[in-house]
Amino acid sequence: MALKYNLSKVYALSDNDPEFVNQILTLFVTEVPEDLKQIKEGIKKKDHKYAYSYAHKIKPTLDLMGLNVAFEEILQVEAWTKAEGKKKDIIETFKSIKIQVKEAIKEIKKDFDL
């Protein structure tokens, strides 16, 4: 199975410290799903500023975790919030991000016994 994530940036940042890597992974597994719920809520309520704040918050994490497609898509979410776009224009992109994060989390939990 192909990896859904890439930890090369995490290992570089941590100087290959396994404890630090574990902390980063734990934060990713616990916080990003919650942040995604907040983005979804912002989209649902058409609260573009709210959705933007959470999209902006997870953007560096997606990059750090090597979720390149999800990173590009979160940039689209940010652009959508700034343009105050219609809900229907961003739903599929958001669903794609959610799926990628969910698959990465599932794999990380299995690979790192989290």
Please give the Cα distance from 57 to 11 (Å, whole number): 21
pLDDT at 86: 95
pLDDT at 3: 80
Tell me the CATH architecture of domain 7-112: Up-down Bundle (1.20)
Token digits of residue 81: 């919030």
Q: Walk along the chain (114 residues) and give the pLDDT tens digit of each residue.
A: 468 999 999 999 999 999 999 999 999 999 999 999 999 999 999 999 999 999 999 999 999 999 999 999 999 999 999 999 999 999 999 999 999 999 999 999 999 999
Q: Is 67 helix (H, G, I), strand (E, B) or coil?
A: coil
pTM of the model: 0.94
